[in-house]
Chain A
């Protein structure tokens, strides 16, 4: 018997004593018999099980995120609002549902409910209701039949004349109700959520449990409906990214989508938003956390790569003890970290970028979106009159852990950039990396790709210096630079 998990499903309160680690998708389909939510892959890769989770905040508003219910344990739902396809307005189809029918954006129909939920989540939470953002919001919903064109037309047709208030927040919500996208009971949700008491957890017990952040990795690894591990469910951080003492400070429990939305980062590091658009899908970004991605230490972790180049520093906490460790000293080996079991990542700090800096992130994967890189690389640098003032280059997929290219970076520091210097830097990078052949490419390819990504950085930095990779080939035969 477990302490009850209480939440609002569509318009109704649900109280269950099922295991908090039960997969939400299974609870929805097998316990609630709401079979509109489909099961496609159980790994967060198809979006067929997409639902919305609304979390109340202190100001009384509820913010909604589209998530893959196959990656959500029931326990994280406590005190939240769950919206499934069955919770959409019953009297009339929503304008998007109508548009899907009218534009033929449906074929077999198996992916359709998940798609509709992703779009509903987009309408509820997205600040910019452009067609580009709408398309990006459904990039995690695989459709094997329609070829997506009719879905895109459906999005275009209703977005151009939706009557939706562009201002995100309460006014948006009201306009969505008025226009039939969501039912009127949404007005009552904040109050209903407030009436749910906090999850009854024994504080002593909590100490023994492992922390559960986004769960996008652990939920894939566990097989079946539930797991024996009893987690302490971490609250997704509500705290905004902030600037303190010359550092940008990010909470470890920030979701990737919160990082993308951060006003501070949009000002200080405007390139970051589009880079993170290559991280998983919208659903995954709405779940995965900064701390989780770093602690996972995958050699090709995008966040680790980006923040290595941005000279990130971690704050680790164990009870009252707090220490700081540079990210580049944090990764010791394959899934080995400079962190004790009882230490928890709480913060990431980045130096506020100097004006005139250059940042670039490159990622090559089999599929551009919703994929893991073969090799990824970030550069963060500043050059004055062609001379490098400082530079940090990181590379993923070429070592057992996210790699900071120390030698390459220090070689470039102080140098005037020429194609010869860039070739030499690429050669040094080869000596720093140790890729292995796997499903994402052969060792030879990864070495070649790392070189090409370093070229790509400088092509973007100064297209006049290198306007085509051949310029470099002409300078020196490729075989010589390995």
Chain B
């Protein structure tokens, strides 16, 4: 089918992505809200269910190859030091040790945009790579690590970003501790004038903690060379990113690197980048001529593979008496750890409401701690907690219902770009969500409850991107037996990609889902799709599969026309059979068509169409939380969460609910218990396992009610899908914080809202 190259513009985890992309010339008409779909949107059971409930699903962690060897990384125990010398001789003498790589014998391979190398002579955080041992067994590799002697010249370190910003602070890198040496700035209108014109000014400081992804499957790779060709099994959200990073690091053609990832035990943004560990394993594997498995342990997972940066956010709002926002300002800094990343979090403040005058100033600060990475709605989760807490405070000050304040400042146009949204149903989310939680009936004035256990209700709004965009391709192969193979170079984090891609093809070609095989997660056999982050997978890839499937249908109709000796317009397609409209008895099946074509299969490749020009694509929603606070101990229990979201078309109700429930529970973890704790005296992380780093269990699960207010966005793509993975977690913590305030009259301005903070605040109040 005809294609063209266009400018493509969409938002991913890292913000705006502007690229050139190949897209279909003709756009398929989107399924309308009334489209009678038989498979799409239905609660189809996941196709990989059988493999997963029987333990047969092979994760990267489970890959085992003949003659495989085991790698283990020695990591810095100290937050900042120069390596004076490394003595590996004793470790090398240990029987079963095959190879030890350190800065002394490793090629210089730049990492983190050239700010460090694979094995640096300066370690900048507890967990930085120092050496890697490959041995016949895990036990030998671990034993060998303890025999490596490293002589460190200890350097001064800094853990606290507010300290790191000071001129006299120890330098994490010679070039300074602030990314780009300056804040990232944004402004619109005249903020000072906006504040002058305001009837009410509110300002306060909110802060959030560092949290760690902690997916259940550790980061891991298994690498194997076949001549000059490298195959890498990696637990990754970004197949092609890993392929290209490894090819570049090893100075080899990308065509010689194959990255495979069938199943992975979660990612949440922490697996969006190639890891040093994969490159290290590939280097050693080449040298010893045997496959290498490298799997990080839980301590490494908590030190070295990313986290959500913390934030200190100073917010100020000016509003008229009626609640109209006139000015907003945001000053923040966040800890990105030892290597570049960003900690910006002002997008919700910039975009959630109509406000003519806005100014933001944000610092991403380097410290001697593990580096931050994208984590499920990076920036928005921190930013929404602070901004939506402040909106609640502002409503209280104005004497307005918090929901009314938000409705008052609703906007149909993106306040940053001044473009309209393709769709925005946040008012429906307010309406339906507030009804479901009992906003009017149950919500009482803040702090008016008596007794030991006090209940409260709070809410927060959500905005995120999640529209996806091109490039994304899918190839489908229809076999003579009318079985179908869908192939796309995307990846499934466990979210249900296998299933919904099959559903799209099944819908269009009316073939039973059992006859459809989906292959994703393989750079060699699948056409390109982007990484799986930014809630982009479903909105980017599903339209490409529909495009390929519609092309397949047209091909079949064309072939049937030729075979049945009639025009294509006289051929009707139904459930894998083509018949003449004027003579329904003349009917031919897929098998007969393919046999006549003398091909074993028909192949088509579809592409994601361009996003509509002049629009912004965003997801929206609101979450409402009911909590109970024990005023004797400060313990907070979440009783119910209502999540009402505009996420375009639902592809699969079951996997959608999981995404939302899972995001909300992670949001509860963020709000109440998860926290990386650092001892600033030693620069060491105290929470290096999930004994100390608390993740919610089933016992922390409240009632959850999900309401989807959207039925499909006709403007964005032929499937009308927006993403849902990130919207799910964004407003949860803010809604809980607002509910705690409503219950107790005490505002907890720093996350997590632990019993000690609540109890201390309550006892101060009394």
Contacts and interface: CB of A to CB of B under 8 A. Distances in A.
A150 B654 contact: yes
Nearest to B666: A144
A39 B697 contact: no
Interface string A356-393: 00000010101111111010000000000000000000
A223 B143 CA distance: 10
B216 A144 contact: yes
Contact of A142 (B48, B216, B655): B216
A112 B53 contact: yes
A470 to B, nearest CB: 6
Contacts of B493: 108
B297 interface: yes
Interface in A105-125: 106-113, 116
Nearest to B141: A224
Interface stretch (B76-84, B317-325, B427-435, B758-766): B758-766
B263 interface: yes
Given A93-B50, A224-B142, A439-B692, A48 B697 contact: no
Query: Which range contains the number of A residues in contact with the other chain?
Result: 35 or more
Contact of A139 (B214, B451, B699): B699
Interface in B10-54: 43, 45-46, 48-54
Contacts of B483: none
Given A224-B142, A374-B756, A106 B62 contact: no
Contacts of B264: 108, 110
A467 B452 contact: yes
Interface in B642-658: 654-655, 657-658
Interface stretch (B307-315, B327-335, B683-691): B683-691
Contacts of A146: 658, 661-662
A100 B217 contact: no
A374 B677 CA distance: 15
Contacts of A147: 658, 660-666, 701, 704
A106 B268 CA distance: 16
Interface string A438-482: 010110110011001101100100000001111001000010000
A424 interface: no
A151 interface: yes
A368 B755 CA distance: 11
A43 B298 CA distance: 9
Nearest to A477: B766
A448 B759 CA distance: 8
Contact of B755 (A26, A135, A364, A478): A364
Interface stretch (B382-390, B550-558, B589-597, B629-637): B629-637
Interface in B59-95: 59, 61-62, 64
Nearest to B47: A101
B632 A149 contact: no
Contacts of A84: 55
Contact of A367 (B52, B665, B673, B677): B673
B442 interface: no
Given A86-B55, A146-B661, A40 B631 contact: no
B284 to A, nearest CB: 20
Interface string A141-178: 11111111111100000000000000000000000000
A418 to B, nearest CB: 18
Nearest to B301: A41
A46 B690 CA distance: 8
B567 interface: no
A109 B263 contact: yes
Contacts of B699: 135-136, 139, 368-370
B663 to A, nearest CB: 7
A439 B657 contact: no
B266 interface: yes
Contacts of A100: 49, 53
Contact of A152 (B662, B663, B701): B701
Nearest to A85: B55
A473 B762 CA distance: 11
B298 A41 contact: yes
A374 B694 CA distance: 13
Nearest to A47: B697
Nearest to A226: B139
B745 interface: no
Contact of B55 (A35, A148, A441): A35
Contact of A97 (B54, B143, B677): B54
Contacts of B634: 364, 452
Given A111-B216, A470-B631, A449 B756 contact: yes
Contacts of A478: 763, 766
Contact of A113 (B55, B450, B677, B690): B55
Contacts of A26: 138
B695 interface: yes
Interface string A209-247: 000000000001001111000000000000000000000
Nearest to A135: B698
A469 B689 CA distance: 35
A35 B632 contact: no
A139 B265 contact: no
Contacts, number: 250
B45 A102 contact: yes
Contacts of A442: 756
B57 interface: yes
A38 interface: yes
A433 B696 CA distance: 31
A78 interface: no
A108 B263 contact: yes
Contacts of A144: 214-216, 266, 268, 662, 666, 695
Contacts of B760: 444-445, 448
B746 to A, nearest CB: 13
A257 interface: no
B440 interface: no
A372 B57 CA distance: 34
A29 to B, nearest CB: 8
Interface centre among B55, B56, B452, B690, by most A CB within 10 Å? B55
A106 B52 contact: yes
Contacts of A226: 139
Nearest to A278: B699
Interface string B193-225: 000000000000000000000111110000000
A226 B139 CA distance: 8
A135 B632 CA distance: 27
Nearest to A478: B763
B452 A142 contact: no
B495 interface: yes
A142 B266 contact: no
B494 interface: yes
Contacts of B139: 224-226
A42 B701 contact: no
A104 interface: yes
A108 B217 contact: yes
B481 interface: no
B53 A93 contact: yes
Nearest to B755: A364
A36 B691 CA distance: 23
B633 A38 contact: no
B53 A104 contact: no
B452 A110 contact: no
Given A147-B704, A445-B759, A40 B698 contact: no
A403 interface: no
Contact of B53 (A37, A40, A101, A368): A101
Closest 3 CB pairs of A and B: A36-B55, A108-B494, A147-B661
Given A147-B664, A147-B701, A225-B137, 9 more contacts: A107-B494, A107-B662, A109-B263, A110-B59, A110-B61, A223-B142, A366-B694, A374-B756, A445-B759
5 contacts: A41-B689, A143-B698, A144-B666, A364-B635, A364-B755
Interface of A: 26, 30, 33-43, 45-46, 48, 84-86, 88, 93, 97, 100-104, 106-113, 116, 135-136, 138-152, 220, 223-226, 362, 364, 366-372, 374, 439, 441-442, 444-445, 448-449, 452-453, 455-456, 459, 467-470, 473, 478
